[in-house]
Amino acid sequence: MAKAAIKQQKAEATEARLAGLTLPESGAWAREAREAALERVRSMGLPHRRDEYWKFTDPTSLTAEEPPQASVFETGEPPLFDGVDRLKVVFVDGVFDPEASDDLSLEGIEIERLSEAMAKDIHWVRDLYGKIEGASHEKVDRPLAAFNTAFATDGVVIRVTGKPSKPVSLVYLHKSERSDAILHHCVKVEEGAELTILENGPAAARFSKGLEVDVADTGAFHLVRAQGRDHERRAVTGTFARLGRESTFKTFTLTVNGVMTRNEAYVELTGDEAVCHIAGACLGDGRDFHHDATVFVTHDAVNCESRQVFKNVLRNGATGVFQGKILVKQGAQKTDGYQISQSLLLDDDSTFQAKPELEIYADDVACSHGSTSGAIDADALYYLRARGMAKAEAENLLTLAFVAEALEEIENEAYAEELRERLAGWLERRRDRAAG
């Protein structure tokens, strides 16, 4: 198909999708922000299968008018982070649930619902909402992120002024098989302040989430999230961050199950000596599993460090995708950039596609990237079996060990251990299923 024809087709498809939608009610500044985002969607066009950035992931189900049905999965397990002392904020199918949530007050932060903030004429979040997302299209179009900014119906905005004693825990419950949730959160971490957000749950049949984080000088932000265990759910998420001097930004994402996941991250290191770690692990079983981690880190200051660590375990025809880029702008000297994406393919049917990229305009930097995919190490497996472990047990132990490297990126050991235990359970259930 010719380029012009694709463009035409994209424009038509975009208009058709937007035709039935109206921007949610909001105050003046928010209306402006939404309209600007909508304009971005129009000018970029919704993603098309032929788009380079969507080469490995078919966006059709993410842009379709109606989300495909997704049954609700009862895990029979206690919810993740249940034992953690936290400020719980619950969304059911993308709608804030005040009954199930804690009182939104915690020393060191100001937190309120997005809709409330948007109804106000004057609000600090005006300078953040849609701003980092809006800046993220410089090199690559992210129309679904702009779409999220335009149409988000709920979310939280958090201003972090101190060091709260506990994390904010966003709990996303999925109860309706046709729910189509669009959430957008904004977090502003003031100078020297610190916040950890825990996210957990499938959220909806189809979930679009935007998270914009502005970390001021010497601030710190941590995100540990797990995307639930629902098999049929779809999710497209965008994490956008801007980092000030000597600030820290670390995220870890665990994805198990789900027919479609596209997690994008876009981080700008704009202050000297900022640190950014983006890590993830995904475990997929079956032909219907598709997971895509797409990361873009821009170094625009000196002496900054960035790490991308992704581990995928794929079996029975599952598909994993990694697109990771490190962009080092002119003058971003002494950049230390690292990127690794690895997949453990437990059979010949599973697929991992990786597109690691470096684009460097400074001459005094250390950047490296690597990507591997392979089977379980035969020597290690033999060694464990020779010591008495059954094959499936040895495979699980080696698989957990493989994923452990990504889990180690989580600073808080208790959270890491909790996720590790869930992973072990996931592997064990599959082992038992395989054993019949």
Partner 1 sequence: MLDIKGLKVKLEEEDKQILKGVDLHVEAGKVHAIMGPNGSGKSTLSYVLSGREGYEVTEGSASLLGEDILDMEPEERAAAGLFLAFQYPVEIPGVGNMTFLRTALNSQRKARGQEEISSADFLKLIREKAKNLQIEPEMLKRAVNVGFSGGEKKRNEILQMAVLEPKMCILDETDSGLDVDAMKLVSDGVNALRDEGRGFLVITHYQRLLNHIKPDVVHIMSDGRIVKTGGPELALEVEENGYGDILNEVA
Measured from the CB atom, the residue of 110 and 393 that comes closer to partner 1 is 393
- Across 63-80, b (16+ Cβ under 10 Å) vs e yields beeebbebebeeeeeeeb
Select the span of 130-138, 176-184, 284-292, 400-408 touching partner 1 (CB under 8 A). 400-408
Secondary element (H or E) of residue 203: none
Q: Are 96 and 175 in contact (CB under 8 A)?
A: no
The rounded distance, in Å, linking the Cα atoms of 396 and 430 is 10
Angstrom CA distances, 395 to 51, 104, 286, 384, stand at: 38, 44, 18, 9
For residue 421, state whether it binds partner 1 (rule: CB under 8 A): no
For residue 23, state whether it binds partner 1 (rule: CB under 8 A): no
Q: Are 317 and 290 in contact (CB under 8 A)?
A: no
- x/- mask, partner 1, residues 115-154, rule CB under 8 A, reads ----------------------------------------
Hey, what are 321's tokens?
A: 């995708």
Q: Are 354 and 55 in contact (CB under 8 A)?
A: no
For residue 431, state whether it binds partner 1 (rule: CB under 8 A): no
For residue 361, state whether it binds partner 1 (rule: CB under 8 A): no
Angstrom CA distances, 101 to 68, 91, 170, 172, stand at: 28, 8, 9, 11
Taking the CA of residue 381 as centre, how many other CA atoms within 13 Å lie in the half-sphere pointing to its CB? 13
Select the span of 33-41, 207-215, 337-345, 397-405 touching partner 1 (CB under 8 A). 397-405
Measured from the CB atom, the residue of 23 and 397 that comes closer to partner 1 is 397
The rounded distance, in Å, linking the Cα atoms of 9 and 4 is 8
Select the span of 24-32, 74-82, 116-124, 372-380 touching partner 1 (CB under 8 A). 372-380
Options 378, 433, 435, 436; binder of partner 1; rule CB under 8 A: 378
Select the span of 106-114, 133-141, 231-239, 382-390 touching partner 1 (CB under 8 A). 382-390
**Which residues between 309 and 338 bind partner 1 (CB under 8 A)?**
none
Measured from the CB atom, the residue of 212 and 418 that comes closer to partner 1 is 418
- x/- mask, partner 1, residues 264-303, rule CB under 8 A, reads ----------------------------------------
For residue 217, state whether it binds partner 1 (rule: CB under 8 A): no
Q: How many residues bind partner 1 (CB under 8 A)?
A: 22
For residue 388, state whether it binds partner 1 (rule: CB under 8 A): yes
Hey, what are 92's tokens?
A: 């059911």
Hey, what are 142's tokens?
A: 């992210």
Measured from the CB atom, the residue of 248 and 342 that comes closer to partner 1 is 342
For residue 424, state whether it binds partner 1 (rule: CB under 8 A): no
Q: Are 376 and 347 in contact (CB under 8 A)?
A: no
CA dihedral 344, 415, 244, 168 (to 10 degrees): 130
Select the span of 73-81, 216-224, 324-332, 380-388 touching partner 1 (CB under 8 A). 380-388
For residue 398, state whether it binds partner 1 (rule: CB under 8 A): yes
> For binding to partner 1 (CB under 8 A), which residues are involved?
378-380, 382-391, 393-394, 397-398, 400-402, 404-405
